[in-house]
Structure 1
Amino acid sequence: MHVLFSPCRIAFSALTLATFSLATQAQTQNDAFDNDVSQQANSQAVERILVTANRSPSRLLTTAASIGSVDKSELDLINHQHINQALHRISGTWISRGNGQEHLTAIRSPVLTGAGGCGAFFMALDGISLRAPGFCNANQLFDANTEQAQRIEVLRGPSSTLFGSNAVHGVINIISPDAYASTANSVGLRAGRDDHLRASLAYRTQEDNSAFAVFGNLTQNNGYQQNSGYDQQKMTLVYQQTGNVWQNKTVLDIANLEQETAGFVQGFEVFKDKQIRRSNPNPEAFRDATSLRAYSQFSMETANGNFSVTPYIRRNQMAFLQHFLPWKALEENSHSSAGIQSQYRYQKDNLNLTTGFDFDFTRANLRETQDQAFSPNIPQGEHYDYNVNASTTAAYVQAQWELSNWQLTLGGRLENVLFDYDNLLKDGNACAPEVATCRFTRPEDQNVSFTVFSPSFSALYSVNQYQTAYFKLSQGFRAPQATELFRLQNNQSVADLNEEEIDAIELGWRLVSDKYAFNASVFWQEKKDFIFQDTNRQNISNGETRHRGLELSGKYHLSPSVYISGNATYATHEYANAIAISNTNIEGNEIDTAPRTIGSAQLGWHVSDTIQTELSLQHVGDYFLNPENTAEYDGHTLVDLNLHYEYSPQLRFNANIYNLLDKDYAERADFGFGNYRYFAGQPRRIFVGATWSWSQQ
């Protein structure tokens, strides 16, 4: 078992003790102040409730964490075709768009790629991971019905105390709709460029103490590039019941994606060429994915708190052609899981205590095959075929004390991750006996286990009923992903990997009133045992990285009908040691695909009670494309226009003009196999829609 306290953490602990001492000595005679901010505040902004930071409803102003959200009204205004169009509104967050529905993620981090790149982020529906621990996929947000979510919350920074493995750089939590909401039922139709069509349905019905709701959407898009496009279907069913003792919420969430994938266009800045950027070097590429998640949460109030228990199941299956590799192998993976989450919250006087137990069991399979011969060390045929049974068991506790104007929170989590691996092919490599170094290696059957303790501490000071400041120490970890452990290369027979660990310090300030809301945070993060593939294509875990940054966000109402909002992030992400990811010393270099600046701004105007318009700007700064920092992309700034018109209480129209200024840009730039490679951005495009609503029965 690894207890993750570094020497600098000991120094932080000393500061923690000093803070605690200061808090306990604080004067209590300030009768004008009440620790429950909401009882004195009159604005709706102060009353804002989010659930992700503490795995339970918490007031934003008294939350010692950097958390942002995109709510339903914003989602309806944006009408996003891709998740990156929604999450650029949250500081420190960049969802880098690939082709179709593909994407990569950055939260207080570079855009992370490779087998474990997705493992640095905990992505969930109502707090339950979209995919099983150890079996993430970099594109897994397309599994969730974000288009019809109640809101999307993003918790920035390490959060493993409450969420466990994978909550290294942050958490993305999709909050499902409330079946009890009074929103009218509706059907909608939306159309736009590249034969884009989307039909949607939202239906609710209530009877006495229960409610049922159906949300679904069907999307067709023929793609901007040749021989590309996708068909996608999503459905969310919600049943809720309020009893005398128990409350229940049951959710079934299903998604299906059939995508013809376009690959990178290659050549320096070819995204500026109007013909080349529409070409598709990989017309044979595809991605097919299906997913199912279901849970039933039972909760009850107790004399001094509340208790909840949530059993769940999930099923994921995907096949895709690895078009980004010259030999274009086919990967087929699947996993089925069953698990349970339980939590008890106890409150008495100035103490709030949260304890919980999580368990997840998964059966998974991965198979990789290659149809055509490429070279002796990259042969056609079966590369890998293995099963993995995995279990994750965790217990956590978090205590929160209210002391005068101070709120102190201390927590810890103990988690065990166990992999039971079964190779279904012959042990060793996939090549002919005379090949000295084979690209694909199959380790022998084995069990691998990781046990980690993850602590956190925060101190929040309430300056007054509208303003708070906080200090936070947190730690994140992730166990290696199954592909890092068992899909080995170049004669590596055992991957002797450690857990990735990150230590973080954060200082934050938040100010909220009836006209404005501002947030600022500064963070320092150091990650060790970073898992990567070295120049010999061996999976090792001795990487170290540094992450420093400043995040700002805010919203200001210039008048009752005009608002301005935005966010800005300046951050550096660097290699902290000379890892063997390059043939040169890269210590101190910036990590590739890590822009120093990202941000967005919105100027909105409620022209009348029925017309709303918003001008939206998104900025991505320049970034390096390789560890040597010799290739670079200049970044881009885009402008969108969003329009909403309510013709009548039953009928409303919307329009979105993306890339209003028709900017030539790359959604993502890359440098691989000696070439500049780009997912080209799309030119100006217009989407229009109409929604018909009717009252609930």
Structure 2
Amino acid sequence: MTLRRASLLVYMALSSTAVMADKLANIERITTTATRSVGSATPLPFVISTVSQQQLALIAPTHIEQVLKQIAGANVQHGNGQEYLPALRSPVLSGAGACGGILTTEDGIALRAAGFCNINELFEAHTEMAERIEVLKGPGSALYGSNAVHGVINVITPDSTQDRGFAGLDLGSFGYKRAKFQQGHDMGDSGIGISASVTRDSGYRDDESVEQEKLSLRYRLETDDLAVMSGLTFTHLDQQTAGFIEGFESYKDRDVAQSNAYPDAFRSAQALRVWSQFTWQDERNTLVLTPYFRDQNMTFFKHFLPGTPLEENAQTGAGIQSLWRYQEDENIQIELGFDSEYTQATMLQYQQNPTQGSAFLVATVPQGKHYDYEVASSLYAPFFNLQWQWQALSIDVGARFEHLSYDYENNMQAGRNRDDGTPCAMGGCRYSRPQSSENSFSTWSPKLGLSMVLNDNNVLYSNLSKGYRAPQASELYQLERKQTVADLAPETASNLEIGLKGNIAALSYILSAYTMDKKQVIFRDSDFFTINDGQSSHRGVEVEFEYAINLDWQIRFAGTHAKHKYESDQQLGEINIKGNEMDTAPRNIANVQLNWQPSDTINTSLEWHHVSRYFTDAENRHEYEGHQLLNVRVNWQPTAQLSLTLRINNLADTAYADRADYTSFSGDRYFPGKPRHLAMTMQYSW
């Protein structure tokens, strides 16, 4: 067995998402998501799972869903094009403001301002060129505030400032094409680099397509006292969108699955983020300042609403993250920080054509403007964290206070009239606009974590924490029917987690169990009022492990068993849903990868992904049967510079639904999954 091959197998056995006491301490020191800089050497009392650069290269994902299925507890449902709905220790989140349940970031900076998230916002991160993707599960850190209820998904872009680069080309079924390029220039104490990707996809379904371009720039400067890393990411998306298909198990009919009843639907979006991280460090002190700027706009056709209106939204803002870390000695570390940002956002929803459908819809959904408003928001958040190592026990205690304020200006007549002020028949117009106002929200989020080193390679941990999210602007200012004011408070989540993580011989593992109770959950009731007196419970067990069977074979597993339930009285028709399982929340999800390396230059992977049945309505009357998928990947590296990868997705050609849903208006509806399809990657490095 060659030295190179043996080294690779040792790496695969040791570089899992598990945490290994002493060795993991070094890994956690560079975990961006956990520390926002080089940080603590003590074991962390929460779980961060990682999809590495090597895994990303083998997957060559065309969508973020293909990556996050490697993470226990994650369940991202692909919609169409680059759209998706996320879940992380939760049911799949949908509806206005639901995106506030999971914080999505790139290089530790939120993709959107705290009150203006978008459920699809991960398409604005440069995942195609990511160095790795880290997922923090649960509200376990004081570094992140509003929206980090169920966790954080952090896309980490590469340091492209070294003297190396590559060019790659992806080709796949249904007209998929993607070109990638990266080049850096190292000038000693400084460097500059560029990463770019261009995607063209004509799509599997009728009248769908994706055109997407992404660009990332990096600049590095190092002196005796100061290290500066700066980054820029620009993304642009033009997408022709295919909507739901309707009818019970219609995804099993290939002709229906390929059809598109909404050929005019589209999404056009662009986003720019610029940041610089300044780091000063001496023997005991580290100071990190990260100013950033965001600018985003998006227009999309809301084909899922009566009258199919257009929405135009935009936001521009700037902020700063700050962190001071003091190392008293090898046992005590103190962190203090202050985060702040200011954002100006606009939203316009208008309908170009008269509504089609029932007499009620025609009367209550008028042509013209529905909403037109501006919001200025400001946020500030001081926080602290203390880590104390006492013999084998590590104590981690911290808290964050966050204040978010909105200054809302309505540019239309308040109420539920047409845009010209005339009333709608049949009780009034569907859309209601509140008066101009100011709203503010303040929340504490404490946390306490314990880690016990059992031996050189295994750690027992637990944490008690509180997460929260402020009401989103869409929940406060996009009202319906008779509601004129949304009197909302932040959603809160109380979380208790216990787990074991480490390494036993060739096995690396994480075993965790959690219980979370959410209160003041924001939802739209049967009267179409946006309220937040909901409650829900979330209980789960997760397992992630890697096991090197021998020098040629390795197995990786990520699985979860969870129950998510409604815990408050809510009447839907004649049914009180208290005690029901939440819709779109499969109890069991598993991902298994069997890797085989028959030679130094060939690496293969067989992936099995299982999603169990789940209810598609809150009444628990309708359900989706679940599915199982097989994927195969083969990588061949004929030279040190050239790499070729072949992927066959949905090897068994299974008819399945990426997303299943039920509504009283349309019945069962689905986003159908793709049949068997192939993709090939050619990459040359220098």
Same fold per TM (> 0.5)? yes
Partner of 1:417: 404
Whole-angstrom distance in 1 between the partners of 2:617 and 2:210: 30
Work out whether 1:308 is the aligned partner of 2:298. no
* 1:498–1:261 distance in 2 versus 1, CA, 3 Å: same
Counterpart residue number, 1:389 = 376
Which of 83, 97, 112 in structure 1 is aligned with 2:64? 83
Question: 1:321 is matched with which residue: 301, 311, 316?
Answer: 301
Q: Distance in 2 between matches of 1:353 and 1:38?
A: 23
Letter in structure 1 aligned against 2:668: Y
Out of 256, 265, 272, the position equivalent to 1:285 is 265
Tell me whether 1:175 sits opposite 2:150 in the alignment.
no
**Residues in 2 aligned to 1:633 and 1:492: alpha-carbon distance in whole angstroms:** 34
Q: 1:69 aligns with which of 40, 50, 65?
A: 50
Task: Give SS of 1:572's match.
Answer: strand
TM-score, scaled to structure 1: 0.92
C-alpha distance in structure 2 between counterparts of 1:492 and 1:661, whole Å: 50
Larger displacement relative to structure 2 (167-176 or 645-654): 645-654
Could you say what secondary structure the match of 1:485 adopts? helix
- CA change 1:57–1:581 in 2 (3 A) is farther
C-alpha distance in 2 between matches for 1:198 and 1:415? 41
The 8 Å contact of residues 20 and 503 in structure 2, kept in 1 or not, is answered as no
Q: Is the 8 A contact 2:42 2:389 kept in 1?
A: no
Q: Please give the per-residue CA displacement for 1:583-635, whole angstroms capped at 9, x wherever unaligned.
A: 52000000000000112010111221111111111111110000000010011
Letter in 2 for 1:256: H
SS in 2 for 1:276: helix
Matched, 1:433 2:423: yes
Residue in 2 aligned with 1:231? 211
CA contact (8 A) 1:533 1:581 kept: no
Amino acid paired to 1:516: L
Q: Aligned in 2, Cα 1:581/1:367: closer, same or farther, shift over 3 Å? A: farther
CA distance in 2, matches of 1:515, 1:49: 23
Question: In structure 2, how many angstroms separate the alpha carbons of the residues matched to 1:635 and 1:38?
Answer: 35
In structure 2, stretches of 5+ residues that fail to align are 1-18, 356-361
SS at match of 1:605: strand
Query: Cα deviation per residue 1:363-421 (whole Å; 9 max; x = unaligned)?
Result: 00000001122212110100000000001110000001000100001101111000000
Aligned residue among 665, 670, 674 for 1:678: 670
- 1:100 and 2:81 correspond: yes
CA root-mean-square deviation: 1.7
Aligned counterparts of 1:49 and 1:580: Cα–Cα separation in 2:
49
- CA distance, structure 1, for counterparts of residue 175 and residue 25 of structure 2: 41
What letter matches 1:155 in structure 2?
Answer: L
Instruction: Tell me the secondary structure at the aligned position of residue 62 of structure 1.
Output: coil
Alignment of 1:260 with 2:250, yes or no, is no
Residue 626 in 1 paired to residue 620 in 2?
no
Which secondary structure state, in structure 1, belongs to the residue aligned with residue 306 of structure 2? coil
Q: Check 1:58–1:466 CA distance in 2 against 1; reply closer, same or farther (3 A cut).
A: farther
User: How far does residue 176 in structure 1 lie from its aligned partner after superposition?
Assistant: 1.5
What residue number does 2:435 align with?
A: 444
Deviations 1:165-191 (A, max 9, x none): 000111001112123557x41111111
- List per-residue Cα deviations over 1:229-271 (Å, max 9, x = no partner): 1100011111111111110000000110100000001000010
Partner of 2:194: 214
State the secondary structure of the residue aligned to 1:275.
helix
SS of structure 1 residue aligned to 2:476:
helix
1:142 maps onto 2:134 in alignment: no
In the alignment, which residue of structure 1 is the partner of 2:458? 467
**What is the rounded CA distance, in whole Å, between the counterparts of 1:644 and 1:248 in structure 2?**
36
Match of 1:332 in 2: 312
Q: Secondary structure at the match of 1:118?
A: helix
Deviations 1:623-668 (A, max 9, x none): 0000000010011111101111112122221111100111110000
User: Per the alignment, do residues 93 and 276 of structure 1 end up closer, same or farther by CA in structure 2, a change over 3 Å counting?
Assistant: same
**C-alpha distance in 2 between matches for 1:430 and 1:255:** 38
- Structure 2 contact 635–646 (Cα < 8 Å) conserved: yes
Distance 2:352 2:295 in 1: 27
Q: Does 2:55 correspond to 1:110?
A: no
Task: Name which of 314, 336, 344 aligns with 1:355.
Answer: 336
2:644 aligns with: 653
| Cα drift, residue 437 of structure 1 | 2.9
Q: Tell me the CA shift for residue 61 of structure 1.
A: 8.0
**Maintained 8 Å contact 2:417/2:424:** no
Q: Aligned residue for 1:372? A: 353
Distance 1:291 1:272, change over 3 A: same
Which residue in the other structure is 1:662 paired with? Answer: 653
**Alignment-derived partner of residue 692 in structure 1:** 684
**Pairing of 1:419-568 with structure 2 (within 5 A):** 419-431=406-418, 432-433=422-423, 435=425, 436-513=427-504, 515-568=506-559
Is residue 2:337 matched to residue 1:346? no
- The one-letter code of the counterpart of 2:386 is A
CA distance in 2, matches of 1:684, 1:434: 49
8 Å Cα contact 1:666-1:680 kept in structure 2: yes
Distance 1:481 1:274 in 2: 39
Contact 1:442 1:486 in 2 (8 A): yes
Percent same amino acid among aligned pairs?
40
In the alignment, which residue of structure 2 is the partner of 1:617?
Answer: 608
1:202-228 per-residue CA deviation (whole Å, 9 max, x = no partner) reads 111101111211111100000111000
Is the Cα–Cα contact under 8 Å of residues 105 and 112 in structure 1 kept in the other structure? yes
TM-score (norm 2): 0.93
Task: Give the secondary-structure state (helix, strand or coil) at the position aligned to 1:93.
Answer: coil
Give the equivalent residue in structure 2 for 1:402: 389
Give the deviation of 1:438 after TM superposition.
2.0
Q: Which moves more between the two structures, 585-594 or 208-217?
A: 208-217
1:295 equivalenced with 2:275 (yes/no): yes
Match of 1:469, SS state, is strand
Q: How far apart are 1:47 and its partner, in Å?
A: 7.5
Among 221, 229, 232, the alignment partner of 1:249 is 229
Q: Are the equivalent residues in 2 in contact too, given 1:122–1:172 (CA < 8 A)?
A: yes
CA distance in 2, matches of 1:398, 1:229: 47
CA distance in structure 2 between the partners assigned to 1:99 and 1:573 by the alignment: 26
1:161 counterpart SS class: coil
Code of the residue aligned with 1:281 in structure 2: it is A
Partner Cα separation in structure 2 for residue 111 and residue 381 of structure 1: 32
- Find the aligned partners of 1:360 and 1:580 in 2 and give their Cα distance: 39
For the 8 Å contact 1:469–1:508, the answer to whether it is kept is yes
C-alpha spacing 1:305/1:580, structure 2 compared with 1 (3 Å): farther
Cα distance in structure 2, aligned partners of 1:515 and 1:204: 36
Distance in 1 between residues matched to 2:42 and 2:549, nearest whole Å: 22
Say if 2:20 and 2:458, in contact at 8 Å, map to a contact too.
no
CA contact (8 A) 1:45 1:514 kept: no
Return the alpha-carbon distance in structure 1 between the equivalents of residues 222 and 611 of structure 2.
46
Is the contact between residue 161 and residue 219 of structure 2 (CA under 8 Å) also seen in structure 1?
A: no
Write the distance in 2 (CA, Å) between the matches of 1:668 and 1:45. 40
Letter in 1 for 2:417: A
Task: Note if contact 2:306-2:365 (Cα within 8 Å) is conserved in structure 1.
Answer: no
Q: Does the Cα contact within 8 Å between 2:30 and 2:37 map onto a contact in 1?
A: no
Aligned 8 A contact 1:38 1:47 in 2: no
Instruction: Give the SS at the match of 2:591.
Output: strand
Write the distance in 1 (CA, Å) between the matches of 2:444 and 2:22: 39
Spell out the pairing of 1:18-33 with structure 2 (5 A cutoff). Answer: none
- The change in CA–CA distance for 1:148 and 1:137 in structure 2 (over 3 A counts) is same
Q: Is it true that 1:276 corresponds to 2:256 in the alignment?
A: yes
How far apart in 1 are the matches of 2:411 and 2:87?
Answer: 35
**Hey, what's the Cα distance between the residues in 1 that align with 2:666 and 2:200?**
35
- Cα deviation, residue 581, structure 1: 5.3
